[in-house]
Amino acid sequence: MSDEAIAQKNLGNEAYKKRDFATAHKHYDAAIALSPKTCTFYTNKAAAYFEEGKYEDCIEQCKTAIDIGRANKADYTQIAKSMARIANAYVKLANLKDAIYWFEKSLAEHRDPDVVKRYNQVNKELKEQELKAYINPEISEEEKVKGNALFQKGDFPGALKHYNEAIKRNPENHVLYSNRAACYQKLMEFPKVIDDCDLCLKKDPKFIKAYLRKGAALLAMREFGRAKAQYEEALNIDPNSREAQEGLANVYRLDDEDPAKARERAMQDPAIQEILRDPGMRMILEQMSTDPGAVQEHLKNPEVLTKLMKLKEAGIIAMR
């Protein structure tokens, strides 16, 4: 690399900083002519193309820089830099798949923290795009119908496949999570029943079937306190629900566990332990024990309410 080539590159950089890209290109071309085996001159020119919005030209220039760099044993960080710039150019062209490909190639050469961060951002965007592109309520309904038909025939694994596809096609439809929960219930996968019922209720807190199914799953797991709470929620929505009434009766009939033992078992739950370790929650519980009326103010905080309800369901505290 000659001193004259470096001087031309420096002039190009000065013009680049002033956003005088025509002059920058002129000096970068002069540097390349003087030292055609120096890959950084090509990447500098590619950077100017990028700033001009000439992303295809930027990509081609970076590929040339990579070839030159490989042929002349350039430092791997320079190769990685060119690859990352190609990736960013593809992002600008809204071609996230090719962007991900080049980010991964760059990171294979050199794990630059900034490139890792950018890669993660773009990867997240790509996944969100793919999910949105996959959504189709009409196909979702068709899959639900197929699932229902197999469920009626007792083919629960087959029904599950269709419900899974239906949810992918329309993840905002709360009924689908309840349907899948019914499948898991038949397959005796009770924790999955609870997870799907929670997803359903997050989208529609008044969907009574989800409370009933969650209650039945908890009853099967002998989580009597939590099951009772679900049936009570169902009765709040529909006081005449026969299924909720029967479920509540089953809780009282089957719950022969000593309250002290039930409390001891609940205390082994990692989620309960985490709540009780929280200094803020401990302060609230202490306050509740001395001033029961103070709880009303805390119930206005959704996060605190969720934690208190969890403790109530486990039989750790009593609340009206």
Amino acid in the structure at residue 102:
W
Q: What is the pLDDT of residue 270?
A: 82
The one-character DSSP state at 90 is H
Q: pLDDT (tens digit, 9 = 90+) per residue, 213-222?
A: 999 999 999 8
Q: Which of 14-18, 80-84, 221-225, 302-306 has the lowest mean pLDDT?
A: 302-306
pLDDT at 60: 97
Cα separation, 140 vs 135, whole angstroms: 8
Cβ of 178: how many Cβ atoms within 10 Å? Answer: 25
pLDDT at 262: 61
Residue 117: count of CB within 10 angstroms of its CB: 10
Please tell me the distance from the alpha carbon of residue 257 to that of residue 227, in angstroms, as a whole number.
14
Q: Is the pLDDT reported for residue 139 higher than 70?
A: yes
Q: Quick check: helix, strand or coil at residue 121?
A: helix
Sign of the alpha-carbon dihedral angle for 98, 104, 109, 111 = positive
Average pLDDT of span 143-153: 97
Distance CA 44, CA 258 (A): 76
How many residues does the structure list for the chain? 320
Angle at 20 between CA 19 and CA 23, to 5 degrees: 145
Amino acid at 1: M
Mean of pLDDT values over 221-231: 90
What is the set of domains in the chain, with CATH numbers? 3-134 (1.25.40.10), 258-320 (1.10.260.100)
Q: What percent of the chain has pLDDT over 90?
A: 73
Q: Which of 61-65, 111-115, 193-197, 224-228 has the lowest mean pLDDT?
A: 224-228
- The 10 Å Cβ neighbour count of residue 22 is 9
Q: Give residue 170's identity as a one-letter amino acid code.
A: N
CA 129 to chain centre: 13
Q: Give mean pLDDT, residues 236-255.
A: 90
- Least Cα distance to 66 among 110, 31, 16 occurs for 110
| Distance separating alpha carbons of residues 173 and 147, to the nearest angstrom | 15
List Cβ neighbours of 255 (8 Å cut-off, separation of 6 or more).
Answer: 224, 228
Closest to 77 measured CA to CA, from 30, 129, 31, 113? 113
**Residue 260 predicted with pLDDT over 80:** no
In this prediction, residues 184-196 reach a mean pLDDT of 95
State mean pLDDT over 259-284.
Answer: 78
Mean pLDDT of 172-188: 96
The rounded mean pLDDT for the chain is: 91
Distance CA 55, CA 48 (A): 10
By the 8 A CB rule, do 176 and 167 touch?
Answer: yes
Which pLDDT value is given to residue 132? 87
CA angle 16, 17, 20 (to 5 degrees): 45
Question: 300 pLDDT exceeds 80?
Answer: no
* Share of residues in the chain with pLDDT > 70 (%): 93
pTM: 0.57
Q: Please, what sign has the CA dihedral across residues 157, 204, 304, 294?
A: negative
Stronger pLDDT, 99 or 272, i.e. the higher one: 99
Q: Are 5 and 41 in contact (CB under 8 A)?
A: yes
> Is the pLDDT confidence value at 26 over 90?
yes
